[in-house]
Structure 1
Amino acid sequence: MAINFHTPVQLVYDLLPSLKKTKGSRVINVTSIDGFISLPANAAYNASKHALEAYSDTLRVDMMPWDVKVAIIEPGTMKTPLALGFWDSWFKTFQEAPVDRRKQYGDAWATAHMTDGTKIVEQIASDLMITVADIMDAIQSRQPKTHYRCGGAAKYFWWPLSNLPVGMRDAVLVKMAYPHPPDALDTEQGRAMVAKSIAHPEAP
C-alpha cells in the first residue's frame, strides 16, 4: 500500500496546486488489470491497485473543472522482474507460513501450483513497450483515454471476464486457481465440492 497507493496519492497532492494552474496538465497513474479484477493468490496487490484505481476515478471527476486530465494505465502481465518473479515470491511466502497453514495445502500442491503458474506467466507475458506506448499516448494526446488496458490479454480476456456475472467470473477464477486440489480437499468429498463450485456457481 505504501508503494502502490500512498506514494502516488501524496505525490499528486503535493503537485496539485501547480497542476491546476498549468494548461493541459494531467495525472497518469499506473494500476494493473488487478485494479479491475481481483485475481487469486494476489490479495494484497489487488487491494493496493483497486485503491489507486478508485482514487484515480474520483480525482478525474474532481479535476474536470480545472481541465486536469487523469488517465489510468492498466497493464496485463508484462515482461518485468515483478511479473516474472511472482511465483518464486509466492512460493517463498508459502514456505514461510506456519506449518498448520501449509498443511491444509501441502508442499506438493504448492510446488505444482508454482510450476504451473510460472509456465503460464512465461507464456502470456507481453512486451513492456506496449505499456510504454500507452503511457506516451496518455502524455501526448490532447484527449487521453480515461483507462488504457495494455495488451491483448487485458483487453480481450481480463476485461470481458471482469464484466461477467459474479458467479460465472468466480467459477473461471477458481478453476484457474485450483487445477490441483489442496491436500485438505484431495478427498472424494473435497473434489466434489470444488467441481460443484465450478459447474454450478452461485447467482450474483
Structure 2
Amino acid sequence: MKNKKKGVVLITGSSSGMGMETAKLLLEEGYIVYGAARRLDKMKEIESKGAHILAMDVTDEKSMIEGVDRIIQEQGRIDVLFNNAGYGSYGAVEDVSIEEAKHQFDVNLFGLSRLTQLVLPHMRKQQSGRIINNSSMGGRIFTPMGAWYHASKHALEGYSDCLRLEVAPFGIDVVVIQPGSIESEWTGIMLENLQKTSGTSAYQDMTRSFVSMTKKMTGASSSPVVIAQTVKKAIEAQKPKTRYAAGKYAKAYMFLRKVVPDRMFDSTFHTMMKRQNG
C-alpha cells in the first residue's frame, strides 16, 4: 500500500491513546479515517480533524455490523483495519473471576476476531487489504498478576500468524504491533483494578510491589505517537514486516525473554519485586 493515500482506515479504540494518535496522524497524511469507540463524545477531537466516528463496542455484534456496513456504503471499501481496542485485566489468578477472564478474551481476542470476519469479505473482493492487530510486548513475555491479559495477547499472536497464512493468497497482509510501555490512561486503570482485585488478598504484598514497580517504569514511557508512526509505517510498506516492536522496553524485554531460560526470567522478576519492598 505504499504511496496509497486516501486509503480507508478503520481504527478501534480511537477515543484515547494509541488509537487516537494513529487517527490524527493518518488524517494529516490524507487517509480517510473511521474512528470507532464505545463513546462518541470521547472522539470529538479526531472528528474535528476530519475523522468519521462510529459508536462501536467490540463485544456488541450489532454495533460492529452497522459500523462496517456504513463504511462500505459511504466508501465502497476498507483498506486497513487497525484492531486497537483492548484493556488489561490484572490480578492474581486465584482472585480474578472466570467471568472477568472471559470478558478479557471477549475484548482482546474474540471481539477483534469478529470484526475481522466482518471486514475480510470486502478485502477479499478488492484483492487487497491490511489487518493490523495491536498486541503488546506482553504477547511475548509474562509478568505476575497479569495472567489473563498476557494469555489474551499470547493468543492474539498465534491467531495473527494463522490468519496471515490464510489471507495471503487474497492480497491481504496481517501485521502485529508490539508496544512497550506507552503513556496512556490504560496503566492507571489497570493498576486501580489490580488493587481492587488483589490489594487485600493473600497476594497483597505482591500487588503492592507490582504497583510500585509499574509506576516507576511508566515514568519513562514512550508517547503513543511512537505507535502511530509505527502503524503508518506498517500501512505504507510495500511488503510489511509481520511484527513491529516499538516503545520503551519492548525490544529489550522481548530479546531478554528470547535468550534467558524460564527460571532465570522468573528470578529476574522476583528480584525486581523484592527491591520494591526493600
Q: Deviations over 1:23-71 (max 9, x none)?
A: 4311100011111112221111111111111100111112222221100
Measured in 1, the distance between the counterparts of 2:241 and 2:107 equals: 24
Q: Does 1:149 align with 2:245?
A: yes
Q: Given that residues 213 and 273 in structure 2 are in contact (C-alpha distance below 8 angstroms), is that contact kept between their aligned partners in structure 1?
A: no
Give the C-alpha shift of residue 124 in structure 1: 3.0
- Match in the other structure for 1:121: 217
Which structure has the highest strand share of the two? 2
Q: Does 1:16 align with 2:120?
A: yes
Q: Does 1:176 align with 2:272?
A: yes
Counterpart residue type for residue 162 of structure 1: R
Q: Given that residues 181 and 218 in structure 2 are in contact (C-alpha distance below 8 angstroms), is that contact kept between their aligned partners in structure 1?
A: no
Residues 1:105 and 1:49: Cα distance change in structure 2 (over 3 Å): closer
Question: Where do residues 89-100 of structure 1 align in structure 2 (5 Å cutoff)?
Answer: 89-95=193-199
Question: Where do residues 15-94 of structure 1 align in structure 2 (5 Å cutoff)?
Answer: 15-94=119-198
Q: Given that residues 128 and 170 in structure 2 are in contact (C-alpha distance below 8 angstroms), is that contact kept between their aligned partners in structure 1?
A: no
Identity %: 30
- Match in the other structure for 2:256: 161
Residue-pair matches, total: 172
Q: Given that residues 83 and 121 in structure 1 are in contact (C-alpha distance below 8 angstroms), is that contact kept between their aligned partners in structure 2?
A: no
Q: For structure 2, which runs of at least 5 residues remain unmatched after alignment? A: 1-104
Residues 1:140 and 1:93: Cα distance change in structure 2 (over 3 Å): same
Give the C-alpha shift of residue 150 in structure 1: 1.2
For normalisation by structure 1, the TM-score amounts to 0.75
For normalisation by structure 2, the TM-score amounts to 0.57
Residues 1:111 and 1:154: Cα distance change in structure 2 (over 3 Å): closer
Measured in 1, the distance between the counterparts of 2:115 and 2:211 equals: 38
Counterpart residue type for residue 152 of structure 2: S
- Greater RCO structure (CA 8 Å; 6+ sep): 1
Q: For structure 1, which runs of at least 5 residues remain unmatched after alignment? A: 182-204
After superposition, the CA RMSD in angstroms is 2.1
